[in-house]
Amino acid sequence: MKLTIYGSGCAKCQQLTTNAETAARRLGLRFEVEKVTDVNAIIDAGILRTPALAVDEDIVVEGKVPSSNELEALLGS
C-alpha cells in the first residue's frame, strides 16, 4: 500500500503522516510513505486543500487531519 501525503511539510502535514503510519501499523499493513511538497505536483494531483492523503493514488482525505482511529477505519475498509 502506498500512502502519499500532500502538503508543505507543516505541523498538520506531519501529524497526518504520523496518524496514517500509526493506523497502517495497527492494521498490520505493509506500506510505504511518500511526501509531496512541491506546489505544482500538489495541484497536478488535483488537491485543492492540504494536508491531503492518497491511498494507492486515490485521494481519501483533503484539508483536514483525521485521528489515527478514523484513518484506521478508512484504511481497513
32, β-bridge pairs: 2
Residue 9, CA distances (Å) to 12, 18, 30, 66 in order: 8, 12, 23, 16
Is 74 assigned a catalytic role? Answer: no
* Element (DSSP H or E) covering residue 48: none
Catalytic status, residue 13: yes
Instruction: Choose, from 3, 5, 13, 65, the residue flagged as catalytic.
Output: 13
Question: Pick the catalytic residue: 1, 8, 10, 38?
Answer: 10
Give catalytic residue positions. Answer: 10, 13
